[in-house]
Amino acid sequence: MKTWADFREHWRLRNPLPGAWSPLRFLGPGMLVAVGFIDPGNWASNVAAGAGFGYQLLWVVTLSTFMLILLQHNAAHLGIVTGLCLSESATEHLPRWVSRPALGSAVLAAIATAFAEIMGGAIALGMLFHIPLRVGACLTAVVVGGLLFLNSYGRIEKLIVGFVSLIGLGFLVELLLVDTVWSSALVGWVKPQLPLGSTTIVMSVLGAVVMPHNLFLHSEFIQSRKWHEQGEDAIRHHLRFEFFDTLTSMIVGWAINSAMILLAAATFFQKKVPVDSLEQAEAMLGPIVGPASALIFASALLCAGVASTITSGMAGGSIFAGIFGRTYDIADRRTKLGLLVTLVPALAAVFFITDTFKALLLSQVLLSVQLPITIVLQLSLTSSRKVMGSYVNRGVEKWLLWIIAIIVIGLNLLLLKSVWFGG
């Protein structure tokens, strides 16, 4: 009779990835990315969308999330197959005159993102503890810097998943406190509408959901697990289950972003209250919904600010290190320099801002302007057989990805038109 040890050895040989059959084992990288598009910039964009246009712009969140699922899934494939993040892959496979400007603009996008995150954390500290904006920004940056320079991937992963859970719970409670017109919401989610004067808000929401730094970040988180070193069978296995992680995480992000618009539509738009700051939104929620809602709003914003500043800092460090052909490693001086290049200018910019709400919206618009560069960069690599081998983009997926690139470019042209001619 075979012993228990014999049985275990037989099982190990038949199943080289123990426990890998369970999709739950793959949750993690996607959730780290998800926190990036429920950041304070999203809050400003979504509150402006809901307060100004009710339920009419919910479709932007739906469209953006659909595009995001495909793009993040594609970025993760790059990391799994090649063992390189997007920045490293661009440096290795593209001429420097192409890769350097593209990656340089991505670093600028990471700085713009970190600026919004730090400012969001500072605004939340002001709401909760009446701390001045600039002091709150410094506290947020110091706490995040400490976490990034001292903690490992594993600890940060658990911390951020906890933050996402708290943010989601906060908005669930908020929605239970307001009267949402669900029939209008259902129409808003699926019917594209472009009300007069909404173009900038639409682009802001798009840039807040489909964020350039998140594409770099996802490939970085994936490649850090070195699944490509486990052989072809492991690569195919991980490619299959990674989609579950991406899909689950992006749906969570879609739900939270939608909840922000629903809350603003059910309160501010319904009461015809214009909103031009997150502080005003928090102050107005108390009288309209109840005092608990304002506390929940501010607490969730603080969680979003800290968590998303962590991920934007990591993205900046990853992009910067990748320019020199290095992976993200906090022990490496290039990664450290990348973190400082991202966080220090972002913090400094807070000291020159007078209109925080407008600055948050503008930061998201800037992300949407850079987004086509990152998307075309990524698709050029994942559509290259030299880079991806037999896992190159093909068929329907390839066409959908390039259609997304065309849509994003078209929306940016629409934004330029609105800037020049109004609308």
Q: Which residue has the tokens 């037999």?
A: 390
pLDDT average, residue stretch 282-288 = 74
pLDDT average, residue stretch 251-276 = 89
Of the listed ranges 66-70, 91-95, 387-391, 411-415, the least confidently predicted one is 411-415
Of the listed ranges 76-80, 137-141, 378-382, the least confidently predicted one is 76-80
Residues 6+ apart with CB under 8 A from 315: 36, 110, 113, 213, 214, 216, 217, 220, 342
Q: Evaluate if residue 7 carries a pLDDT over 90.
A: no
Of the listed ranges 169-178, 187-196, 253-262, 312-321, the least confidently predicted one is 169-178
How many whole angstroms from its chain centre is CA 404? 17
C-alpha dihedral (381, 385, 391, 397), degrees to nearest 10: 60
> Minimal CA–CA distance to 377: which of 113, 60, 30, 104?
104
Of the listed ranges 96-110, 119-133, 224-238, 295-309, the least confidently predicted one is 224-238
pLDDT band at 234 (very low <50, low <70, confident <90, very high): low
For residue 169, the model assigns a pLDDT of 84
Of the listed ranges 38-47, 178-187, 323-332, 392-401, the least confidently predicted one is 38-47
Could you tell me the sign of the dihedral formed by the alpha carbons of 179, 181, 185, 188, in that order? Answer: negative
- Which tens digits make up the pLDDT trace of 161-170? 777 778 888 8
pLDDT average, residue stretch 356-364 = 81
The helix-helix angle for 40-53 and 232-264 (nearest 10°) equals 40
CA-to-CA dists, residue 296 to 127, 128, 158, 272, angstroms: 11, 10, 22, 22
- Higher-scoring residue by pLDDT: 218, 381: 381
- Which tens digits make up the pLDDT trace of 49-98? 999 999 999 999 999 899 989 999 999 889 889 989 999 999 999 999 99
- Which tens digits make up the pLDDT trace of 37-56? 677 777 888 889 999 999 99
How many whole angstroms from its chain centre is CA 144? 17
Residues 6+ apart with CB under 8 A from 358: 276
Question: What is the percent of the chain where pLDDT is above 70?
Answer: 85
What average pLDDT does the structure give for the chain? 83
- Higher-scoring residue by pLDDT: 369, 115: 115
d(CA 128, CA 235): 47
> Minimal CA–CA distance to 186: which of 50, 66, 59, 43?
59
pLDDT average, residue stretch 223-249 = 71
pLDDT band at 29 (very low <50, low <70, confident <90, very high): low
Q: Evaluate if residue 228 carries a pLDDT over 70.
A: no
Q: Evaluate if residue 9 carries a pLDDT over 70.
A: no
CB 275 within 8 A of CB 268: yes
For residue 316, the model assigns a pLDDT of 96
pLDDT band at 121 (very low <50, low <70, confident <90, very high): very high
> Minimal CA–CA distance to 110: which of 224, 211, 244?
211
Q: Which residue has the tokens 């486990």?
A: 230
pLDDT average, residue stretch 286-312 = 83
Per the rule left: phi > 0, alpha: psi between -120 and 50, beta: everything else, 393 is beta
Residues 6+ apart with CB under 8 A from 291: none
CB 45 within 8 A of CB 205: yes
C-alpha dihedral (268, 274, 275, 281), degrees to nearest 10: -40
Burial readout 141-176 (b: 16 or more C-beta within 10 A, e: otherwise): beebbebbeeeebeebbebbbebbebbbebbeebbe
d(CA 68, CA 14): 36
> Minimal CA–CA distance to 308: which of 142, 123, 117?
117
Question: What is the percent of the chain where pLDDT is above 90?
Answer: 41
> Minimal CA–CA distance to 374: which of 408, 342, 418?
408
- Which tens digits make up the pLDDT trace of 175-190? 888 899 999 999 999 9
Residues 6+ apart with CB under 8 A from 296: 170, 173, 174
d(CA 99, CA 110): 16
For residue 194, the model assigns a pLDDT of 87
What kind of architecture, by CATH, is found in domain 25-264+282-421? Up-down Bundle (1.20)
SS3 content of the chain, % helix, strand, coil (to 5): 80, 0, 20
For residue 229, the model assigns a pLDDT of 56
CA-to-CA dists, residue 394 to 71, 218, 385, 389, 402, angstroms: 14, 21, 10, 12, 11
Q: Evaluate if residue 225 carries a pLDDT over 70.
A: no
For residue 24, the model assigns a pLDDT of 45
- Higher-scoring residue by pLDDT: 55, 34: 55
Q: What type of residue sits at position 59?
A: W
Q: Evaluate if residue 318 carries a pLDDT over 90.
A: yes
CA-to-CA dists, residue 13 to 20, 66, 228, angstroms: 14, 39, 19
For residue 11, the model assigns a pLDDT of 37
CB 99 within 8 A of CB 324: no
Residues 6+ apart with CB under 8 A from 324: 91, 334
For residue 182, the model assigns a pLDDT of 94
Q: What type of residue sits at position 212?
A: P
pLDDT band at 227 (very low <50, low <70, confident <90, very high): low
